[in-house]
Chain A
Amino acid sequence: MITNGGDRRLGWLMLTPALLTIALIAVFPLLWTVWESLHLHDLRMPWRGRPFIGLANYVEIAGDLRFRGALVRTIAFAAVSVTLELALGLTFALAMNRVFRGRGLMRAAILIPWAVPTVVAALLWRFMFESDTGIVNAVLTSVGVLDSPVPWFVGSISAWVPVVLSDVWKTVPFVAILLLAGLQNIDRSLYEAAAVDGAGPWWRLWHITIPLLRPALLVALIFRTLDSFRVFDLVYVLTGGGPGTATEPVALYTFNTLLQNLRFGYGSAMSVVIFMVTFGIALLYIRLLGEGERAASGVS
Chain B
Amino acid sequence: MTTIARTSRGEWAARIVLAMLVLLTVFPFYWAVVSSLTPEARLFEQARLWPDAWTLEHYRALFDERDFLTPIRNSLVVAGTTTIFCIAFGTLAAYALARLHFRGRAVILGFILAVTMFPQITIVSPLYLLLRELRLINTFPGLILPYVTFAMPLTVWLLVGFFRQLPRDLEEAAMVDGATRWQAFTRIVLPVATPGLAATAILTFLYCWNEFLFALSFTLGPERQTVPVAIALFRGQYQVPWGEILAAAVVASVPVAVVVLLFQRRIVQGLTAGAVKG
Contact = CB atoms under 8 A, between A and B. Distances in A.
Interface of A: 1, 3, 6-8, 10-12, 14-15, 17-19, 21-22, 24-30, 32-33, 36, 91-92, 94-96, 98-99, 104, 106-113, 115-125, 127-128, 130-131, 133-135, 138-139, 169, 173-174, 176-178, 181-182, 185, 195, 200-201, 215-216, 219, 223, 226, 229-230, 232-233, 236-237, 251, 254-255, 258-259, 264, 267-268, 271-272, 274-275, 278-279, 282, 289, 293
B32 A21 contact: no
Contacts of A174: 271
B123 A26 contact: yes
A230 B126 contact: no
B96 A133 contact: no
Interface of B: 1, 3, 6, 10-11, 13-15, 17-18, 21-22, 24-26, 28-29, 31-32, 35, 44-47, 88-90, 92-93, 95-97, 99-102, 105, 108, 112, 114-115, 117-130, 145-146, 148-150, 152-153, 156, 168, 172, 181-182, 206, 209-210, 212-213, 216-217, 227-229, 231-232, 242, 245-246, 249, 252-253, 256-257, 259-261, 264-265, 267-268, 271-272, 275-276, 278
B228 A120 contact: yes
B121 A255 contact: yes
Contacts, number: 294
A110 B31 CA distance: 16
B257 A134 contact: no
B264 A107 contact: yes
Given A15-B92, A15-B93, A25-B146, A219 B121 contact: no
Nearest to B227: A117
Chain B CB within 10 A, most for which of A91, A116, A216, A274: A116
A280 to B, nearest CB: 11
A254 B268 contact: no
Contacts of A275: 118-119, 122
Given A30-B122, A123-B232, 10 more contacts: A1-B99, A17-B89, A96-B14, A98-B14, A117-B227, A219-B278, A232-B212, A274-B119, A275-B122, A282-B114
A293 B96 CA distance: 26
B102 A7 contact: yes
Contact of A107 (B26, B210, B268): B268
A25 B181 contact: no
Contacts of B256: 112, 115-117
B17 A92 contact: yes
Given A25-B145, A92-B18, A119-B228, A177 B272 contact: yes
B83 to A, nearest CB: 14
Given A8-B100, A10-B181, A115 B123 contact: no
Contacts of A15: 92-93, 96-97, 108
B93 A117 contact: no
A259 B217 contact: yes
A120 B242 contact: no
Q: Which 10 A-B pairs rank lowest in CB-CB distance, beginning with the nearest?
A: A18-B93, A11-B100, A25-B149, A108-B264, A138-B47, A98-B14, A29-B126, A14-B96, A29-B123, A32-B126
A254 B152 contact: no
B242 A127 contact: yes
Given A10-B181, A178-B271, A36 B18 contact: no
Contact of B92 (A18, A173, A232, A259): A18
A226 B114 CA distance: 11
A197 B32 CA distance: 51
Contact of A118 (B14, B100, B212): B212
Nearest to A192: B3
A92 B232 CA distance: 31
Nearest to B11: A98
A274 B272 contact: no
Contacts of A216: 275-276
Contacts of B130: 29
Contacts of B46: 133, 138
A134 B45 CA distance: 8
Given A18-B156, A32-B126, A106-B22, A112 B121 contact: no
A296 to B, nearest CB: 11
